[in-house]
Structure 1
Amino acid sequence: MTEHISYTTEELAQILKVSKLTVYDLIKKGELPSYRVGRQMRVDARDLEAYIEAAKTVKKIKTVGPSVTTAAAPTSQPTRQGVPSTARQLIISGQDISLDILANHLEKQSGSFRPLRSYVGSLNSLIAMYLGEADIVSTHLFDGDTGEYNVPYVKRILVGHSYTVVNLLSRWAGFYVKQGNPKNIQTWSDLTKANARIVNREKGSGVRILLDEKLRIEGISPDRIKGYDMEETNHVGVATRIANDHADVGIGIEKTAQMVGIDFIPMIEERYDLVILKTAENQPFIRALLEVIRSDAFQQEINALGGYNLSQTGKIIYET
């Protein structure tokens, strides 16, 4: 069998000597065909080679043309929905479908921004923001010591930065169980039942942190939970494992349980917030973001999905 070689966005950025933002833009514009493996976007080696050869061809035809590094440099040509490629590219990091809707509304509202999506968990998204690799970060991180969502983590990670935390929505998190809840899972301590197999989320996700914080508060060792090391990278993956009888319980949001057709035991209403760095460059974008999420059009589209509480949407939760 021929060895199949593919690259992650991080590897592509290193190979092409460009930022990950540029790689995301090449993928979005279709210049680099991609596919998803779990939460990672990948590009086949042959498609990368084809892109480089195409860039070389353009250079030969024009005599003096773009190098591989600048082949994706913006031009004044219009792109999807009339947004010019000179628009500022914004990476929106997180996994909830509401972020895809937010990206669409931001792109439609103005020709100044081109949103790009990164499907990374809450904690890793905040770290990416600290490293300058994300513009809008979504978080649902529970702090067991304060009982508060998000702000304690933002304060610890974005040290030395000025930022705004604004609410996007609230949603219920709880247990995914088979229809009828045959294992009678009702509490966090029920996860230790000998006949119950859990499917977990990956490290750095908001759900994984919620579970670990609840176990810490309850004094429960993860070693007592069967399946603790079995991981999925999204809510659908967890719910599907339970629906297919590969596990008895998982943790996720109510909406996904309804989609997959399993039962849901609500445990906590989590606040799903957006974090944006407060810089001079970001001020126009912050105003546009707040205008979008406070608009009737955006909120009506989110409400139509069901399973979300928008009573605080657009409220500034914390800012420095």
Structure 2
Amino acid sequence: MPLEESYTTEQIAQILKVSKLTVYDLIKKGKLPAYRVGRQMRVDASDLEKYKNKEKGIPLPEQTSGAVTNANLGQSSVRSIIISGQDNSLDLLTKYIERESAQFRPLRSYVGSLESLISMYKGEADIVSTHLFDGDTGEYNIPYIRRILVSNSFIVVNLICRNAGFYVAKGNPKNIRDFHDLLRSDVKIINREKGSGARILLDEKLRGAGISREQIRGYGDVETSHLGVAGVVSKQYADVGVGIEKVAHFVGLDFVPLTKERYDLVLLKTEANHPLITAILNILQSSNLKEELQSIGYDVSCTGKIIYEQ
């Protein structure tokens, strides 16, 4: 029997002309059946067609008595949750949720910090990660969270800490040490996409130093991940990019540390979320998770610490 065609969430978003987070929200609400293949969520073509027909008002074929439903499987009490962010530590957290809590079915959305927070405000994400530097206060995350999640109660808990800085070629041949070096005519950068923590760190540091982005060669050239930025620098298409230390070592680049950033998780404090918050705090404060995070190079000195509540 030939295999049925299936689509990734990215392909579904393109077909429906919506954002990936909207697709995840449809999956979370049970409107679009999906299943996991490795790190990907996939949707069968027939299920997408059924969803489209339902939205058009076309009646669905009657379900036969032998059909299998979520209720038959005892899954009606399982809540799908969307975890939004790009760091590998979130994949590890997802594994622990799947293993230790039968209440929740985690779905991963790989988008940047700012878009993740906006998606939470719109009700499209349950756990979001942020590493957003505020140049006015020198603080991470809290100023952005308070502004975006206005009128909401929330809890902020640390997942990991990590070094952020410059990716440069081995030996740092152009001696790039700080943000003023980006003004040099012999230096070209590769940037991150708008809304990412690395892009905001760069923009806030430039603003604080009184440097105009128009003065920076390569500012408009964008990659959408730390690994993508490091790859461009390693191929010598650019001289420098902003990212995290772990990736520099993985790609074989030198790293110029600039700041220790706090990578936090945000959850809304609602009655429905009380079991989720309890489960996440228990997982984050467990020695098993901390040891596994530490073994792959993360700073866990604040892991599981409640940073802020409102």
Instruction: Please say if residues 21 and 89 of structure 1, whose CA atoms lie closer than 8 Å, have aligned partners that are also in contact.
Output: no
**1:146 counterpart residue number:** 137
**1:261 counterpart residue number:** 252
Going from structure 1 to structure 2, the CA distance change for 1:65 and 1:102 (only over 3 Å counts) comes to same
Q: 1:29 aligns with which of 35, 58, 72?
A: 35
Query: Could you list the per-position Cα deviations for residues 59-78 of structure 1 after superposition, in whole angstroms to 9, with x for gaps in the alignment?
Result: 64735899xxxx9x734437
**2:304 counterpart residue number:** 314
**2:96 counterpart residue number:** 105
The yes-or-no answer on 1:213 pairing with 2:204 is yes
Instruction: Please say if residues 164 and 318 of structure 1, whose CA atoms lie closer than 8 Å, have aligned partners that are also in contact.
Output: yes
Q: How does 1:181-260 map to 2 (within 5 A)?
A: 181-260=172-251
SS of 1:62 mapped into structure 2: coil
The yes-or-no answer on 1:114 pairing with 2:114 is no
**1:9 counterpart residue number:** 13
Q: Deviation at 1:271?
A: 0.5
The yes-or-no answer on 1:94 pairing with 2:85 is yes
Give TM-score scaled by structure 2 length. 0.85
Q: Deviation at 1:300?
A: 1.1
Q: 2:151 aligns with which of 154, 160, 164?
A: 160
Q: Deviation at 1:28?
A: 5.1
**1:296 counterpart residue number:** 287
Going from structure 1 to structure 2, the CA distance change for 1:231 and 1:13 (only over 3 Å counts) comes to closer
| Stretches of structure 1 lacking an aligned partner (at least 5 in a row) | 1-5, 79-83
SS of 1:312 mapped into structure 2: coil
- In 2, Cα distance between equivalents of 1:264 and 1:162: 38
Instruction: Please say if residues 138 and 274 of structure 1, whose CA atoms lie closer than 8 Å, have aligned partners that are also in contact.
Output: yes
The yes-or-no answer on 1:274 pairing with 2:265 is yes
Aligned pair count?
291
SS of 2:271 mapped into structure 1: coil
Instruction: Please say if residues 35 and 42 of structure 2, whose CA atoms lie closer than 8 Å, have aligned partners that are also in contact.
Output: no
Q: How does 1:72-91 map to 2 (within 5 A)?
A: 74-77=70-73, 84=75, 86-91=77-82
Query: Could you list the per-position Cα deviations for residues 119-177 of structure 1 after superposition, in whole angstroms to 9, with x for gaps in the alignment?
Result: 01001100000000000010000000000000000010001100001111110000000
Instruction: Please say if residues 161 and 260 of structure 2, whose CA atoms lie closer than 8 Å, have aligned partners that are also in contact.
Output: yes
- In 2, Cα distance between equivalents of 1:125 and 1:310: 23
- In 1, Cα distance between equivalents of 2:24 and 2:170: 42
**1:81 counterpart residue number:** none
- In 2, Cα distance between equivalents of 1:219 and 1:92: 36
Query: Could you list the per-position Cα deviations for residues 24-50 of structure 1 after superposition, in whole angstroms to 9, with x for gaps in the alignment?
Result: 7867515xx8998xxxx898xxx6357
Going from structure 1 to structure 2, the CA distance change for 1:215 and 1:313 (only over 3 Å counts) comes to same
- In 1, Cα distance between equivalents of 2:142 and 2:288: 28
Going from structure 1 to structure 2, the CA distance change for 1:238 and 1:109 (only over 3 Å counts) comes to same
Instruction: Please say if residues 9 and 20 of structure 1, whose CA atoms lie closer than 8 Å, have aligned partners that are also in contact.
Output: no
- In 2, Cα distance between equivalents of 1:246 and 1:11: 33
**1:48 counterpart residue number:** 45
The yes-or-no answer on 1:287 pairing with 2:278 is yes
Going from structure 1 to structure 2, the CA distance change for 1:49 and 1:112 (only over 3 Å counts) comes to closer
**1:3 counterpart residue number:** none
Amino acid corresponding to residue 48 of structure 1 in structure 2: A
SS of 1:258 mapped into structure 2: helix
Query: Could you list the per-position Cα deviations for residues 272-297 of structure 1 after superposition, in whole angstroms to 9, with x for gaps in the alignment?
Result: 10000000000011000000011011
Instruction: Please say if residues 12 and 23 of structure 2, whose CA atoms lie closer than 8 Å, have aligned partners that are also in contact.
Output: no
Q: 1:20 aligns with which of 21, 24, 28?
A: 24
SS of 1:267 mapped into structure 2: strand
| Stretches of structure 2 lacking an aligned partner (at least 5 in a row) | 1-9, 54-59
Instruction: Please say if residues 143 and 150 of structure 1, whose CA atoms lie closer than 8 Å, have aligned partners that are also in contact.
Output: yes
Give TM-score scaled by structure 1 length. 0.82
Runs of 4+ in structure 1 displaced over 2 angstroms?
6-14, 18-28, 33-36, 47-56, 59-66, 73-78
Q: How does 1:169-184 map to 2 (within 5 A)?
A: 169-184=160-175
Instruction: Please say if residues 13 and 23 of structure 2, whose CA atoms lie closer than 8 Å, have aligned partners that are also in contact.
Output: no
Amino acid corresponding to residue 310 of structure 1 in structure 2: V
Q: Deviation at 1:107?
A: 1.1
